[in-house]
Amino acid sequence: MVTIYIAFTIVNTFRNYKNIPFRATHPELIREGTMSEKRIIYLDHAATTPVKPSVADAMWPYMNDHFGNPSSIYRIARESKNAIETARAQVAKAVGAEPGEIYFTSGGSESDNWAIKGIAFANRKKGNHIITSAIEHHAVLHTCQYLEKEGFSVTYLPVDRSGLVSPPDLEKAITDKTILISVMYANNEIGTIEPVAELGAIARKHKIPFHTDAVQAIGNVPIDVKGQNIDLLSLSAHKFYGPKGIGALYIRKGMKIDNLIHGGGQENRRRAGTENIAAIVGLGKAIELATADIGWHNSHIRALRDRLLTGILEKIPYARLNGHPEKRLPGNLNVSFEFIEGESMLLWLDDEGICASTGSACTSGSLEPSHVLLAIGLPHEIAHGSLRLTLGDANTEADVDFVLEVLPKVVQKLRDMSPLYRKSGKEGGCNV
């Protein structure tokens, strides 16, 4: 009974998400004393998104009545099997693929690992060279670094100051040993959208498999794997209002690729493990909604993002936008504030109920700032002062205006105690 009650509470929470303030729907996130009277403004949608109510509703039966193992023969198992195939078709339609080319995985990291290791190991007799970019997600970068230890050689293409990979650079990097090109669709930190179709065309011309990590792009940018010459594409449900722990890899028909997860015959014998049916159903529903809503979603969050950017640049001196001014994800804002460090900004923003992210070393678990910010040429101290705000469907103009009220005070407070601010002779905050 208790379990059912909790589950219903969760479903009801999701159902009401859009209409009720965050503090009412997520009382567990409101800390006693400090946050009780403050709202939560969630501006970290590139990290993850809340599950849409209708997605949670669609998932629920598969944790309840339709729990059967899709590999079994009885009727409740057939329900599970059908649900998986429906979701596969939904994912295929969203990216312009055939259902038989979609394989469910545990998420973006597994999809990236599978694509890169799978292609590399299946084609090692042809060559050992892989091309990727310097600003990939760690799921790609660390996989490539692992392969370097296994005897592969990797070219990390540089990017320009806005984060763009140059197609001529790609073509020049290709050798007769190149067996894989992997360049992300859109960057998770600075939001820059790469010229994927052009890069794909170059790969196709040289008959080299082309993989793209589209984890941040789905639901924000229209994707057509056939038209854009994409051979493998990674995606993850929790970035577009689906559940965590589920993703997919599109593998164009006819690709030579090794398995990553060995075991049972699931996913057409390519990815073992009993299917996470509820999550797969959630992924299917979420991607269907995300691609159907793409126009509204884009204009809504782009308008909020632009209002936020304009306000920040107006109110805060010594601030600069990171990433491409136009070729960027609609909800992504990445700004550097000189003379201060990102983690202290996040702590103050959190105190005001604002959830954001930074490329500063201090939150990365290492002492190096973000490899993406360094790759676009930011000096270390400016990279340490970066703030990423990523907007989502539920954000409002009031949220943006609240950030614009709080952020200038936070930046000034930290600048007032920064020795760099004094040294630069900029105390008093004159605008440039």
Please report, as ranges, the residues that interact with other proteins according to CB under 8 A. 339-344, 347-348, 351, 360-362, 365-369, 380-381, 384, 416-422
In the set 144, 355, 362, 430, the catalytic residue is 362
Which lies closer to other proteins via its Cβ, residue 163 or residue 385? 385
Q: How far is the CB of 372 from other proteins (least distance, A)?
A: 16
- Residue at 62: amino acid letter: Y
Catalytic site includes residue 362: yes
Cα separation, 316 vs 109, in Å, equals 37
Distance CA 203, CA 229 (A): 8
Rounded least distance, CB 369 to other proteins, Å: 7
Cβ 419 to other proteins shortest distance, Å:
4
Please say whether the beta carbons of 251 and 111 come within 8 A.
no
H or E element: which one contains 157? strand 153-157
Name the residue nearer to other proteins (CB basis): 226 or 422: 422
To the nearest whole angstrom, how small is the minimum distance from the Cβ of residue 361 to other proteins? 5
Task: Considering the complex, state which of residue 186 and residue 319 has its C-beta at the smaller distance from other proteins.
Answer: 319
For the chain, what is the total number of helices (H) and then of strands (E)? 16, 12
Separation of alpha carbons 383 and 155, rounded Å: 24
Q: Residue 101 or 341: which CB sits closer to other proteins?
A: 341
Q: Which long-range contacts does 137-142 make (Cβ < 8 Å, 24+ apart)? A: 137/108, 137/112, 137/184, 137/188, 137/213, 137/215, 139/108, 139/109, 139/112, 139/113, 139/213, 139/234, 140/112, 140/116, 140/182, 140/184, 140/213, 141/371
Q: How, if at all, do strands 332-337 and 319-321 pair?
A: antiparallel
CB of 428 vs other proteins, minimal distance in Å? 15
Which CB sits closer to other proteins, 21 or 33? 33
Of residues 313, 343, 341, 338, the one with CA closest to residue 424? 338
Active site residues: 362
